[in-house]
């Protein structure tokens, strides 16, 4: 049976607060009159009123014995009945009262029609959702919407489990029926333990990608070709939703050979087909990733070689310059032309003669440029065969009308085995640069030809660029798929457009949108011109170079330092495990974990195991080291098993969301921020280099990956991505806010300098998010005039270009189509920004988003230079995320901070563990600080809101990381409600 705590099935709170009683359980005068009309005795009046208020809260009639006494006493006080009156009505009276309440509220008792509605809702949902708790929630939502009384929880649980089982069985049989004898034999042989190659094949299905070396590229290509030998996987799974395919594949991923063998054949084969199909999809992504990394590596090695050759020929270059210096000296003396000619000839002869010097000049001149392209061939040759093999298998397509690159690619594939120096020049290469054109084109006699070697390197370089920008796609992949397939059609967008534009308070027509934006920019520019003229925070020198006065940080008040000292003295010392246990008692975050099947845990002491597993992986100790310090309570196998079988990234995110919501209920975080702002920044984590995500990071130094956090101005992290060091961080700048489903919902986002790109400004503006990055070199950015005739008295030198309103208006429909698709959950902002992170000659979306972003960014820059408060706000919020990064470093103390997982999915999962523990510690610290503040106030200590604002929940001196790891889950902490209030004068200050 699914635990009721995992679902949204309404229940009474064991200890309802006074606020809850007043808001939810106070009868209105109409309800009191209803109770007195339909009941005579005080007992019956009380019973009817209690049932009415309970039904309004729960949606069903509870047993009277289950109603908390606090609710009964509260209703008694509202009815003015005697305190000795008890709920002891006759059963017949209860049935009559239930009919009265249903009629009053317009609710129908649970019946056959209600069951049909619930079954249909669950049957539809089970195609995309997996866990019984989710299905029960959907049934509850549908019944409430249809105004039906909720049945007993066991009824809903049985209904969801039955529908889920029957639907899954139908899917298993449906898939199995489409398998041929050969398909069944292929799948069954994967599980034969006596065949070593079969086991390796199953292991290969689950194996993560390795470092992008030539050997690993060949291995991945072989794996992909082996997977594609089961080419019918996509056809067989055509009737399954993508979500269901991923779920079945995840189930297969978690099971070993023996466990898969115990499953009945139809279910087992379905799991394996889904696993193969997902492996095919991921392998396409990984092949494309490796191709991009190898082409980037080839370019980088050629650039390095160019520098080396320049150094090697430095002596020759210096010699040539000294000869040229002698010629210039002779010419500077202004002798007659005949004499000068003899002097120059003498100088040339003295150094070997003109021909020798000409040969030397030809030798060194290629290395005294920035053109590394001629040197790429030697670094490309080792990968040539593998790259051709990969391109053939991926079936790369163009995403635009321009097919020139794809046609050039097919031309190369046709001539792969040619060894001649030249190829016929009957090919459209209008897209290549002048530098490449000089290398690719040559003449064989009077005939123009293509240089085969340079052509190959050129085409594959452009292919890498277009895969990055989205101008080329890989059918059947996820990361490199044609994102246009994920967009809503314009017909689907039109019904959503008006309401969405109303929410953003922007016009819903192209002309109106342009006028609105143009008027905003014109008005703001005029206001800022006056502000800067009256109070020149910005100065512009005679060369039109602007400079902005630096902000000086205000010193921290002595009273704030003293308050922090007093609070620290009152904070209890806790271990991180104690914190996890306390937060579990407060929010029951472990309820989200359990077997991937959705069944309830069958472990002994599951909560204790979940606490230890979370702690071990979050701190990077791992199962072995954690088990050594648990005094025999846990074994490494137990922790590893729970980690693999009971935890997923999505479940951890759900647990984090519960903790954030509990944190949002406290009053103290409101002293630190409004919750309407967040900052995004990355911190590098070292990882082993034998995986596809690990790269060398120039800014951070060393190999690793980037944990990209979105941290609220109230200090708690809202979402974290784990990305490659080579990825442009701004791609994920908006995803965190889109993925954040907690009660803290910011509408303003700060970031570091990477967030200043124009497309990110455009996308955030249309999503209703104010992007306000910290910009160090803002003087290098262009300010765009609202019109060519707009002139300003003081800040006019800042504007060097005009806004391209025509381009924005032309592509307004494309822009709104993208935004509405994101809003509908069809794709994430990173999917678009990944394609807009560099200029594309084909991608019209890039130019439209860039034009809009230039206008929005200009508005932000105008505010940035004219508002000291805004600059201070940006700095303060970005400083908080930097403090969060240091806080994580303290918690992530195992294995010297090196992530030892090579699987990208497991790396992401481990960072989610860390985010969960950090959120729990922040919640515990905030609760402890709140209670300490209350105690200090009771002792007569003066506390100011501005002093509290200087504190932070990133406290560590009150925490223990080392020693034996033990926890008593039966040790009940103080209720979280005790930490919610603050002294009344502080509450009044924050409210104001």
* pLDDT, tens digit (0-9, with 9 covering 90-100), for 580-613: 999 999 999 999 998 887 778 888 889 999 999 9
Evaluate if residue 314 carries a pLDDT over 50.
yes
Please write the tens of the pLDDT for every residue from 756-782: 788 889 989 999 999 998 887 777 788
**Which of 15-29, 82-96, 426-440, 462-476 is predicted least confidently?**
82-96
Model confidence at 837, pLDDT cuts 50, 70, 90, reads low
Partners of residue 784 on adjacent β-strands: 801
Most confident of 497-511, 842-856, 892-906, 968-982: 497-511
* pLDDT for the residue numbered 603: 85
**Which of 366-370, 733-737, 817-821 is predicted least confidently?**
366-370
Which of the pair, 602 or 121, is modelled with greater confidence? 121
* pLDDT for the residue numbered 365: 66
Query: Is the Cβ–Cβ distance between 466 and 405 less than 8 Å?
Result: yes
Tokens representing residue 614 in the block: 């979370």
* pLDDT for the residue numbered 482: 86
Mean pLDDT rounded to a whole number for the chain: 87
Model confidence at 364, pLDDT cuts 50, 70, 90, reads low
Tokens representing residue 953 in the block: 């929940």
Please write the tens of the pLDDT for every residue from 375-386: 899 999 999 999
What average pLDDT does this structure show over 693-699? 65
Evaluate if residue 676 carries a pLDDT over 90.
yes
Return the ∠ at Cα 282 (arms to 236 and 286), rounded to 5°.
Answer: 145
By three-state DSSP, how is residue 163 classified?
helix
Smallest Cα–Cα separation from 513: which of 812, 786, 713? 812
What average pLDDT does this structure show over 151-156? 93
Look-up: residue for tokens 């986002």? 749
Q: Considering the chain, what percentage of its residues have pLDDT values greater than 70? A: 95
Evaluate if residue 886 carries a pLDDT over 70.
yes
pTM of the model: 0.85
**Which of 51-65, 81-95, 101-115, 267-281 is predicted least confidently?**
81-95
The whole-angstrom separation of Cα 284 and Cα 733 is 26
What average pLDDT does this structure show over 863-874? 87
**Which of 407-416, 520-529, 544-553 is predicted least confidently?**
544-553
Beta strands in 853-956 (DSSP E): 898-899
Smallest Cα–Cα separation from 435: which of 568, 343, 302? 302
The whole-angstrom separation of Cα 14 and Cα 3 is 17
* pLDDT for the residue numbered 199: 41
* pLDDT for the residue numbered 984: 65
Evaluate if residue 991 carries a pLDDT over 70.
no
* pLDDT for the residue numbered 366: 66
Model confidence at 728, pLDDT cuts 50, 70, 90, reads low
The whole-angstrom separation of Cα 689 and Cα 368 is 34
What average pLDDT does this structure show over 784-804? 90
Evaluate if residue 261 carries a pLDDT over 50.
yes
Model confidence at 198, pLDDT cuts 50, 70, 90, reads very low
Which of the pair, 589 or 310, is modelled with greater confidence? 589
Which of the pair, 637 or 538, is modelled with greater confidence? 637
The whole-angstrom separation of Cα 652 and Cα 630 is 23
Evaluate if residue 642 carries a pLDDT over 60.
yes
* pLDDT for the residue numbered 307: 87
The whole-angstrom separation of Cα 411 and Cα 403 is 12
Please write the tens of the pLDDT for every residue from 647-672: 999 999 999 999 999 999 999 999 99
Length of the chain: 992
* Residues 6+ positions from 98 with CB-CB distance below 8 Å: 51, 61, 109
* pLDDT for the residue numbered 367: 66
Evaluate if residue 988 carries a pLDDT over 80.
no
Please write the tens of the pLDDT for every residue from 529-566: 888 887 777 777 777 777 777 777 778 889 999 999 99
The whole-angstrom separation of Cα 386 and Cα 297 is 15
* Residues 6+ positions from 919 with CB-CB distance below 8 Å: 656, 659, 660, 663, 716, 717
Smallest Cα–Cα separation from 548: which of 261, 299, 814, 872? 872
* pLDDT for the residue numbered 200: 45
* Residues 6+ positions from 588 with CB-CB distance below 8 Å: 5, 658
């Amino acid at each position: 049976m699914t635990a009721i705590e995992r679902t949204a099935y309404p229940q009474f709170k064991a200890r309802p607060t006074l606020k809850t009683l007043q808001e939810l359980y106070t009868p209105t005068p109409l309800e009191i009159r209803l109770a007195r009309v339909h009941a005579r005795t005080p007992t019956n009046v009380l019973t009817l009123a209690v049932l009415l208020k309970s039904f309004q809260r729960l949606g069903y009639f509870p047993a009277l014995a289950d109603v908390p006494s606090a609710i009964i006493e509260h209703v008694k006080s509202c009815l003015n009945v005697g305190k000795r009156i008890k709920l002891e009505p006759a059963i017949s009276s209860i049935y009559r009262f239930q009919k009265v309440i249903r009629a009053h509220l317009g609710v129908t008792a649970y019946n056959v029609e209600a069951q049909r509605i619930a079954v249909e809702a669950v049957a539809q949902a089970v195609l995309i959702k997996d866990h019984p708790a989710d299905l029960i929630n959907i049934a509850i939502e549908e019944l409430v919407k249809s105004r039906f009384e909720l049945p007993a929880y066991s009824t809903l649980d049985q209904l969801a489990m039955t529908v889920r089982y029957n639907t899954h069985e139908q899917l298993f049989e449906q898939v199995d029926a489409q398998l041929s004898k050969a398909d069944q034999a292929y799948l069954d042989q994967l599980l034969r333990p006596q065949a070593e190659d079969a086991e390796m094949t199953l292991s290969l299905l689950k194996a993560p990608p390795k470092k992008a070396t030539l050997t690993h590229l060949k291995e991945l290509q072989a794996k992909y070709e082996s997977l594609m030998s089961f080419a019918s996987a996509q056809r067989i799974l055509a009737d399954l939703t993508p979500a269901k395919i991923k779920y079945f594949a995840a189930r297969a991923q978690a099971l070993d050979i023996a466990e898969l063998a115990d499953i009945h054949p139809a279910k087992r084969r379905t799991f394996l087909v889904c696993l193969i199909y997902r492996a095919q999809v991921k392998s396409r992504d990984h092949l494309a990733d490796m191709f991009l990394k190898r082409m980037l590596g080839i370019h980088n090695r050629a650039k390095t070689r160019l520098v080396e050759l320049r150094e090697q020929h430095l002596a020759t270059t210096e010699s040539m310059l000294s000869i040229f210096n002698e010629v210039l000296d002779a010419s500077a003396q202004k002798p007659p032309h005949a004499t000068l000619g003899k002097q120059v000839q003498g100088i040339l002869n003295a150094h070997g003669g003109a021909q020798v010097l000409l040969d030397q000049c030809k030798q060194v001149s290629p290395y005294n440029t920035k053109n590394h392209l001629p040197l790429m061939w030697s670094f490309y040759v080792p990968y040539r065969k593998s790259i051709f093999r990969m391109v053939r298998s991926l079936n790369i397509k163009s995403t635009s009308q321009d097919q020139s690159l794809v046609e050039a690619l097919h031309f190369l594939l046709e001539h792969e085995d040619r060894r001649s120096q030249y190829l016929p020049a009957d090919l459209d290469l209008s897209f290549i640069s002048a530098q490449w054109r000089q290398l690719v084109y040559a003449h064989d006699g009077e005939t123009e030809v293509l240089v085969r070697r340079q052509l190959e390197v050129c085409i594959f370089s452009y292919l890498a660029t277009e895969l990055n920008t989205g101008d080329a796609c890989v059918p059947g992949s996820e990361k490199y798929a044609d994102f246009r397939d994920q967009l809503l059609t314009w017909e689907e967008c039109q019904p959503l457009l008006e309401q969405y534009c109303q929410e953003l308070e922007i016009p819903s027509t192209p002309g109106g949108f342009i006028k609105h934006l143009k008027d905003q920019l014109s008005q703001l520019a005029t206001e800022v011109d006056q502000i800067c003229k009256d109070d020149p925070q910005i100065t512009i020198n005679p060369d039109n170079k602007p400079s902005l006065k630096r902000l000086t940080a205000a010193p921290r008040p002595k009273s704030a330092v003293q308050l922090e000292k007093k609070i620290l003295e009152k904070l209890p010392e806790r271990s991180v495990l104690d914190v996890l246990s306390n937060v579990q008692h407060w929010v029951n975050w472990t309820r989200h974990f359990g077997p991937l099947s959705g069944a309830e845990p069958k472990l002994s002491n599951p909560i204790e195991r979940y606490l230890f597993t979370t702690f071990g992986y979050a701190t990077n100790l791992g199962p072995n080291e954690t088990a050594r310090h648990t005094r025999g309570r846990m074994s490494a196998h137990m922790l590893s098993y729970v980690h693999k079988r009971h935890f997923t990234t999505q479940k951890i995110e759900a647990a984090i969301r519960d903790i954030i919501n509990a944190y949002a209920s406290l009053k103290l975080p409101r002293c630190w921020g409004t919750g309407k702002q967040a900052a995004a920044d990355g911190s590098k984590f070292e990882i082993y280099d034998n995986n596809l995500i690990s790269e060398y990071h120039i800014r951070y130094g060393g190999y690793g990956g980037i944990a990209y956090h979105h941290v609220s101005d109230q200090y708690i992290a809202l979402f974290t991505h784990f990305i490659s060091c080579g990825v442009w961080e701004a791609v994920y700048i908006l995803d965190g806010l889109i993925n954040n489903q907690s009660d803290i919902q910011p509408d303003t986002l700060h970031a570091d300098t990477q967030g200043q790109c124009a497309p990110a400004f455009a996308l955030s503006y249309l999503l209703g998010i104010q992007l306000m990055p910290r910009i160090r070199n803002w003087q290098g950015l262009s300010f765009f005039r609202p019109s060519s005739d707009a002139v300003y008295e003081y800040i006019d030198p800042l504007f060097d270009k005009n806004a391209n309103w025509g381009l924005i208006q032309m592509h307004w429909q494309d822009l709104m189509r993208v935004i509405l698709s994101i809003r509908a959950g069809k794709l994430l902002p990173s999917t678009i920004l990944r394609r807009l992170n560099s200029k594309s000659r084909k991608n019209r979306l890039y130019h439209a988003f860039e034009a809009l972003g230039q206008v929005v960014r200009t508005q932000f820059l105008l505010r940035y230079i004219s508002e000291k408060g805004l600059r201070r706000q940006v700095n303060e919020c970005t400083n908080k995320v930097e403090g969060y990064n240091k806080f994580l470093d303290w918690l992530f103390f195992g294995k010297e901070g090196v992530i030892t997982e090579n699987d990208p999915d497991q790396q992401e999962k481990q960072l989610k563990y860390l985010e969960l523990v950090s959120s729990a510690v922040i919640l515990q610290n905030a609760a402890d600080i709140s209670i300490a503040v209350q105690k200090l106030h009771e002792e007569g200590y003066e506390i100011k809101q501005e002093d509290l604002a200087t504190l932070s929940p990133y406290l560590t001196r009150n925490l223990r990381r080392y020693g034996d790891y033990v926890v008593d889950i039966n040790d009940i902490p103080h209720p979280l409600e005790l930490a919610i209030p603050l002294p009344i004068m502080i509450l009044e200050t924050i409210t104001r």
